[in-house]
Amino acid sequence: MALNLVAEIDGPVSVRNVLMSVSDKTGLETFVSGLVAACPDVKIYSTGGTYAVVRKMLGEEEARERLVAVSDYTGQPEMQGGLVKTLDFKIYLGLLSETYNEAHRQDLERAHAVAIDMVVVNLYPFKQTVARAGVTPEEARTNIDIGGPCMVRASAKNYLRVASVTDPADYGDLLEELGSSQGRLAFGTRLRLMKKAFAHTAGYDAAIAEYFAGVQEPAARSVYKVRG
């Protein structure tokens, strides 16, 4: 397998396109308003409940200018139940592209895609769900996030130019940096966010593995009408 090794990158990266999908909406209103103030040309690509919340925060006029539904961007409607929303070639082209790579720039142009500079994602509340008394394996299963970890991992892998934001506690520092640097984030910031992002997904996967390690087949089968 040929690896795509990179030798030269940009230090500060301007934040122009943001992919946003969060279960924990703590601090989101302040972050969105600050993001718009620090990055006047920013566009936010979003899904489902996050899209609706951000649209309300921005107001109808500003939302028309800078908020894009992921399904409109990809041209693919969400799968029933929201099971597939962001698992799309255009999304991952935007996350993994190296914009200093001519072949990648051509790919973006060919697909009518944008390079995504920041991902703001936190995951379905699996730990909180399984901590409840009487939770069933089915309730646990349905709270396993698929698209979220994929976006976090892709953006974190490409920290060379993408900021992977998984913790609302980081919003304030990010807004401060964006406000003082003409809407740009430094290499060191992206590296720090990458480390947190992989710790976040590792902890999430560990929680899933730990819970289901204790689920025996009779308990798992008991919540379904099993045919055959």
Contact in structure between 96 and 150 (CB atoms under 8 Å): no
pLDDT > 70 in the chain, percent: 95
Per-residue pLDDT at 90: 93
Q: Is 80 exceeded by the pLDDT of residue 61?
A: yes
CA distance 129 to 153: 23
* pLDDT tier for residue 3 given thresholds of 50, 70 and 90: confident
pLDDT tens digits for 206-220?
999 999 999 999 999
Average pLDDT, stretch 102-124? 89
Q: Torsion over CA of 223, 87, 125 and 17, rounded to 10 degrees?
A: -160
Which two tokens mark 171?
Answer: 């919003």
Tell me the average pLDDT of the chain: 91
pLDDT tens digits for 66-87?
999 999 998 876 766 665 667 7
Per-residue pLDDT at 196: 97
pLDDT tens digits for 138-177?
999 998 999 899 999 999 999 999 999 999 999 999 999 9
Give me the residues paired with residue 22 across strands.
122
* pLDDT tier for residue 27 given thresholds of 50, 70 and 90: very high
User: Which domains are assigned to the chain?
Assistant: 18-214 (3.40.50.1380)
Contact in structure between 163 and 39 (CB atoms under 8 Å): no
CA distance 163 to 77: 26
CA distance 43 to 12: 19
